[in-house]
Structure 1
Amino acid sequence: MMRKSILWKDAFQTITHSLGRYIAIILLIGLGTFAFVGLKMAGPDMRATGADFFTKHNLADVTVTSNYGINSTDRATIKNSPAVKQATFGYLQDAKVKSNQDVLRVFSQSNTLSSYELIKGHFPENNKEIALSYLLKKKYHIGEKISFTKPGILKNKTYKIVGFVKSSEFLDKTQFGQTNIGNGQLSGFAVTTHNAFASPVYQVSRVTFKNTANLSPFSVTYRNRVYHDQNKPQKALNKNRQDKYDKYVQLYKQQYQKRHPYYTRSN
């Protein structure tokens, strides 16, 4: 008992003589504990926030794009797949801004699947208005005119910026994907009306499946179901793509023959 009493007395004297250091150590331990708890909670909180945002804007399970366009056969393939709950179709065009090096992926507005959240201004109401990614609001402003060098399937070269939006399809704030124009990198995205495009076929389809309802988009079960459900329509779409390719090749050959009457086919 005497030895324990001496030890406690020495410990107390050490603490009182170095009270500042003792308090600092306690604070550091407490800070480390709080930091650990914060990091432990950050992951679930971020996933919950993301899941709520995806649910609010009805994020598609898969997005289908095609260099040859999505024609009536493709649309029937997607909509008639037993696993598909809902499918929408729209347009997209990569376009370089005339006044700088920015390249934007311009989408037709979607109001059902993968809808957009309005951050400022209003959504485009006609084919001469456009809304940009909210990440570009420091570079462009509402009321400003934006022009594209080669609009592609867009009907107009110049649009009035009327708003800034957030998309559930773009999570990375720095990487928007690659493109085959400009410097090869997308600078952001934009949204305009459906009738701002002139194309006989769609370029993008957004799809949800029946058996993914109420599943966390971050869960293994969700990923497995999406992987399983997309396989069958994917195979059918691949076959459609080959058929479209063969038709395009035949069409180009016929056009070439008309322009060069002495051309003889090798096959």
Structure 2
Amino acid sequence: MRAFTTGIARSVRSSLGRFLAIAGIVALGCGFFAGLRMCGPDMRAAADAYYDSTLLWDLRVVSTQGLGEKDLERLAQVGGVRAVAGSTSVDVMARVGSEQVAVRVATLPGEYAHGGEPDVNRLELRGGRWPSAPGECVVSADNPALPASPGDVVGVLSEAGGSGLLAVDELTVVGTVSSSAYPYTVSFGSTTLGSGTIDQYAFVAPGTFSEEAPYTEAYLTVSGASPYESGGEKYERVVGDVRSALEGEAGALAEARAEDLRSDAQAQVDDARAELEASRAAAESELSDTRSALDAAAAEIA
């Protein structure tokens, strides 16, 4: 054993430069491999911390019938739901500067107009101010291919499906934001308009959508999900339980929404009928008064 050790030491001394070079290459390779192994977990941890700090939604509920305030209350009563926020959004073709692009327009949480912050999907103001009047908006600060700044005007050319949800045809940029709901700067999602990708997004002040526009989606956060890494097994288990509960209530929620719509429509019919009856009564009263006046005039002439 001593002879073996002596031989190794003699070999190292006789070719010290080569030994150090090989040792350096091995150390560099080990360090590079360790870095690659940690890159994924570190990126996931950083993303999860960002999502948690902005209270990014865990579940998204969409209804073809739209959603109302009562629907948000029903969703909040489902076991495991921590917070619910309704949002109205529409994809539009718009002119931004000299470019004609697809833009996703959504309502800005009302808390920002009063100096507060919402319980779901918080935004980071990067420049300018929050919108406060109809037609004002904040746009993404993270799209280098389509930059926008306060004072720019976004001209709305058309809405997806001709929905007519917007009450204005121009949006004035008053600020720029970052949103954890849009983590990729190359594309902000897919759409049926233009090239098929969302090139820019905008959050607008209350009153920019028409008064009759319902919520198009609801965003939910789940109790007990934030301690776990987004997308991880434990996170998916916690969120999956609430998802299953929502799916189990889907039929009842849809029927309740349909009943709300029927009730609203019936109320409008009743109001219109009452207005018609009032107008008819007024007309008959006026006609009776006119007939009485004519009869009196005829009697006087006779």
Provide the TM-score with structure 1 as the length reference: 0.78
Q: How many Å separate the matches in 1 of 2:246 and 2:7? A: 80
Give the Å deviation of 1:87. Answer: 0.9
Q: How does 1:1-267 map to 2 (within 5 A)?
A: 5=6, 8-15=9-16, 19=17, 21-72=18-69, 74-98=71-95, 99-110=98-109, 111-137=118-144, 139-142=146-149, 143-151=151-159, 152-198=164-210, 199-238=212-251, 240-241=253-254, 244=258
Give the Å deviation of 1:120. Answer: 2.5
Confirm or deny: 8 A CA contact 2:94 2:102 kept in the other structure: yes
Identity %: 21
Paired residues in the alignment total: 244
Give the Å deviation of 1:203. Answer: 1.0
1:125-162 superposed Cα distances (whole Å, 9 cap, x missing partner): 22222211222255233122111202531222212222
Q: How many Å separate the matches in 2 of 1:139 and 1:174? A: 10
Q: How many Å separate the matches in 2 of 1:124 and 1:10? A: 75
Confirm or deny: 8 A CA contact 1:176 1:187 kept in the other structure: yes
Assess, with a 3 A threshold, how the Cα gap between structure 1 residues 72 and 112 changes in structure 2: closer, same or farther.
closer
Q: How many Å separate the matches in 1 of 2:7 and 2:244? A: 76
1:100-121 superposed Cα distances (whole Å, 9 cap, x missing partner): 3421111111332011112222
Give the Å deviation of 1:240. Answer: 4.7
Assess, with a 3 A threshold, how the Cα gap between structure 1 residues 40 and 148 changes in structure 2: closer, same or farther.
same
Q: How many Å separate the matches in 2 of 1:2 and 1:235? A: 76
Question: Which residue identity is paired with 1:146?
Answer: V
**1:256 — aligned with what?**
none
Q: Secondary structure at the match of 1:155?
A: coil
Give the Å deviation of 1:9. Answer: 3.2
Q: How many Å separate the matches in 2 of 1:184 and 1:86? A: 32
Give the Å deviation of 1:3. Answer: 7.4
What RMSD over aligned residues (CA atoms) do the two structures have, in Å? 2.9
Q: Bigger radius of gyration, 1 or 2?
A: 2
Question: Which residue identity is paired with 1:115?
Answer: R
Q: Secondary structure at the match of 1:77?
A: helix
Gaps of 5+ in 1: 252-267
Question: Which residue identity is paired with 1:208?
Answer: T
Q: How many Å separate the matches in 1 of 2:83 and 2:32? A: 43
Gaps of 5+ in 2: 110-117, 266-302
